[in-house]
Chain A
Amino acid sequence: MGAKADASGRQSRFAKGTTPAKALAQLAAAGATGALTVHGEPGGVVFLREGRVNGVESPAAPGVDRLLTAAGLVPEQVWESIPSRPVRALVEGGHVTEAQIELCALQALHDAAFFVLGTPRTELRFDEGVEHWLGADGTVMSHQVCDIVARQRRMLDEVHPSDATDHAPVVPVLRPGLDRVLLSGLQWEIVLHADGVRTPQDLAGLLGCSAYAVTLDVRRLAAAGLVVQPEPPVERAPSAKANAAVVQEAASLPQRVPGTYTFDDPPPAPGRRQLPTGVSALAVLPGAIDRAPDDSLLRRIRTALQALR
C-alpha cells in the first residue's frame, strides 16, 4: 500500500491497484515535494510542493503555454528562449499580468487533474524534488483537487449519462432534425473544427481552451442529438498509409463550389448523417445549405399575401 522508497531514496513506486487519488493523499500527508507520474491513458504528472498541488500536466489537456499562446498573449517563439520557472520572466516581459498567469495556471491545473486522476489502470511513480516547469506561486490542497475532479465527473453524468463521446472523434450530425439549434460559443467552435478525427481533447488543444469544458460541451451536444454517438472503440492504426488513404478519400470527394447546387450530387445514403472521415464541417456545409431558394414558391406566397390586402 504505502510508498516504498527504492535504493536511491529519490524515487518511490506504489503498490499495484493504488489509485492516483490515494497516492496523492499519501504524498500530501507526508508533505512531499516532487512529481507523481501517472502512467496510463491519458495519464500525466501531478507536481507537489510541500504536500500541496502546484501544477498538473496531462497530454489530454492544454498546458499554460498552449492557453497563453492560443490567446495571443505569448508568441510561440517566446517559449523557446524563456528561462526555467518562467512566471517572473513572462510578467516582467509584459506578456501577462500576475493575476492572469495565476488564474491561467490554476485553470490548467484543475483541467489536467480531471484527466490525470481519472486515468484507469495506472502505474505510479514519485520523483522527489522535481518541480513544475512554470514555477507558479499558487497551490491547491490535494483533497480539494480530488473533490473538484469528483464533482466534474458528476456534472458530466448529469448532463448526459454516457461517456461514449468523451474520448471519441467528434462527429456532428449533418441534419439535426430540430427546428432550432442553440449552441454555446464553445460548441460553435467545436462543430466548426470537428473533422471526424479530432477528439474533444484534440479540439481543446487546437482551440487552446479547457479540455474538460470541451468534453462537457460535447456531452451537451450528444444529449441534444447533435453529435453522432460513436461506435464502441475499435483499434485505430494511425499508420502513414491509413492517413494517406484518408487524405485521398477526402480529395476524391465531389468538390462543390460554394453558392451552387448540382443535382449530380449523389443522394445521401439513408440514415447516413455523419461527415466522412477527415472532412471538416466547413467543407461540407456550404454545399449542404447553399441550395438556391425556390423562387416560384416565394413568388406564390407574395402573390397570396398581396391578394389578402
Chain B
Amino acid sequence: MTIRGAIGASLIDYTTGQTLGLEGGQEDIAPHADPAAAALGTASVIHAAMQTAAYAPAVPGDTVEDVIISTTAAYHLIRPVRTTFDSRLVLYVWLDRNEGNLAIARRRVRSLADDLA
C-alpha cells in the first residue's frame, strides 16, 4: 500500500454494502472484527451523505466528493468512485492518525479512485 499510515483499504459497492475483492489488490482490512459489517456501515454512511438534503448540491455539478470521519486514533476516508460505466462504488481507507497525513492521503485516494474510473 502506498498511502503512508494506511491500515486498511477496500472497495465497496454501496448499493449492497458488499466488498469487491480486487485481484492484485490489498486484502480487505477493516477496523472491525467483521469486515462485512464494516462495509455495510460504510455503505450507509455514504448513502446518508448522498441522500441528505442538507448536503444537496449548492451549485450545478456539485456532488459529494468524500466523507472524512476522524476519531481520536484514526481517520476514515470514504470516496465515491465515479466510473464511466454505471456503478455505485466507494473507496474506503482507514488511516492511522499518528502515522498518516490526512491531506496527502486524501490526494492519494483521489488519484486511486480516478485510476479505477
List chain A positions with a Cβ less than 8 A from chain B.
67-68, 70-73, 97, 99-100, 102-104, 106-107, 110, 137-138, 140, 148, 151-152, 155, 182, 184, 207-210, 212-213, 216
Beta-carbon contact of A71 and B84 below 8 Å:
yes
CB contacts (< 8 Å) of A106 on chain B: these are 20
Which residue of the partner chain, among B15, B50, B51, B87, contacts A103 with CB atoms under 8 Å?
B87
CB contacts (< 8 Å) of A148 on chain B: these are 16, 18
Given the known inter-chain contacts A99-B115, A103-B87, A103-B116, please indicate yes or no for A210 contacting B15, CB distance below 8 A. yes
- CA–CA, A219 and B89, complex, Å: 21
The B65-109 residues at the A interface (CB cut-off 8 A) are: 83-89
- Would you give the shortest CB distance from B72 to chain A, in whole angstroms? 32
Beta-carbon contact of A103 and B83 below 8 Å:
yes
- Kindly list the 5 A-B residue pairs having the minimum CB-CB distance in the complex, ordered from nearest: A209-B86, A71-B85, A71-B84, A67-B85, A148-B18
Beta-carbon contact of B17 and A151 below 8 Å:
yes
CB contacts (< 8 Å) of B116 on chain A: these are 99-100, 103
Residue of B nearest to A108 (CB): B85
Beta-carbon contact of A212 and B16 below 8 Å:
yes
- Would you give the shortest CB distance from B56 to chain A, in whole angstroms? 8
Which of A106, A110, A184 has the most chain B CB atoms inside 10 A of its CB? A106
Residue of A nearest to B84 (CB): A71
Beta-carbon contact of B84 and A100 below 8 Å:
yes
- Would you give the shortest CB distance from B35 to chain A, in whole angstroms? 12
Interface: B1 (CB within 8 A)? no
Beta-carbon contact of A71 and B86 below 8 Å:
yes
Which residue of the partner chain, among A71, A137, A182, A213, contacts B88 with CB atoms under 8 Å?
A213
CB contacts (< 8 Å) of A138 on chain B: these are 22-23
Beta-carbon contact of A110 and B16 below 8 Å:
yes
- Would you give the shortest CB distance from A60 to chain B, in whole angstroms? 16
22 A-B pairs with CB atoms under 8 Å apart are A70-B86, A71-B84, A71-B86, A72-B84, A73-B84, A73-B85, A99-B22, A99-B116, A100-B84, A100-B85, A100-B117, A103-B20, A103-B87, A103-B116, A107-B20, A110-B18, A148-B16, A152-B16, A182-B53, A208-B85, A210-B15, A213-B86
Which residue of the partner chain, among A68, A182, A213, contacts B85 with CB atoms under 8 Å?
A68
Which residue of the partner chain, among A207, A208, A216, contacts B15 with CB atoms under 8 Å?
A216
Residue of A nearest to B81 (CB): A103
Which of B21, B53, B86, B87 has the most chain A CB atoms inside 10 A of its CB? B86
- Would you give the shortest CB distance from A46 to chain B, in whole angstroms? 17
- CA–CA, A112 and B87, complex, Å: 14
Given the known inter-chain contacts A99-B116, A137-B23, please indicate yes or no for A110 contacting B13, CB distance below 8 A. yes
- CA–CA, A73 and B16, complex, Å: 25
- CA–CA, A99 and B81, complex, Å: 12
Beta-carbon contact of B22 and A102 below 8 Å:
yes
- CA–CA, A102 and B21, complex, Å: 11
- List 15 additional contacts besides A70-B86, A103-B116; criterion CB under 8 Å: A67-B85, A67-B86, A71-B83, A71-B86, A72-B84, A73-B84, A103-B20, A103-B89, A104-B83, A110-B13, A151-B16, A155-B17, A182-B53, A184-B51, A216-B15
